[in-house]
Amino acid sequence: MTALRQKMTDKMILRGFASSTQEISLYSATQLSRSYNRSPENITYPEIEAWFLPLIKNNHLALATIRIHFNGLKFLYCNVLGKAQFLPSLKLPKKQQKIPELLSRGKVNAQQLSASIFF
């Protein structure tokens, strides 16, 4: 285990991260490192942005999965490597909110009637 990986693991343990969160965060850092064949310490922000672009654009990953990768790398760069900011220019798409179905007065009355039959 490299010193950087051990340091990241130790900091996550001290913060009380679940083991699954630790694994995913380490996986994200490993994937980034393998993509450039360098330590994350030597990877620049433009390179990280370039790494995220296909994840967002082509891989059809769920937004939650992309956020997991982003937050794992953010923890590495901000809390382990001591960088002040992490990719301030990268904005992940927001989760789409579903609008609840609105019931008409007739449907509300029908539901009230069917519910009152059982009481």
**Residue-number span of the structural domain to which 30 is assigned:** 3-95
Element (H, E) at 36: helix 19-36
Q: Model-level pTM?
A: 0.73
Determine, yes or no, domain membership for 111: no
Determine, yes or no, domain membership for 104: no
Determine, yes or no, domain membership for 77: yes
Determine, yes or no, domain membership for 42: yes
Tens digit of pLDDT for each residue in 35-60? 999 999 999 888 998 998 888 888 77
Q: How many domains does the chain have?
A: 1
Determine, yes or no, domain membership for 43: yes
CATH of the domain at 63: 1.10.150.130
H, E, C per residue of 95-119? CCCCCCCCCCHHHHHHHHHHHHHCC
Determine, yes or no, domain membership for 79: yes
Q: Which of 14, 24, 22, 32 is nearest to 86 (CA)?
A: 32
- Is pLDDT at 14 greater than 90 in this prediction? yes
Q: Rounded CA gap, 76 and 62, in Å?
A: 22
Cα torsion 103, 106, 112, 118: sign: negative
Determine, yes or no, domain membership for 112: no
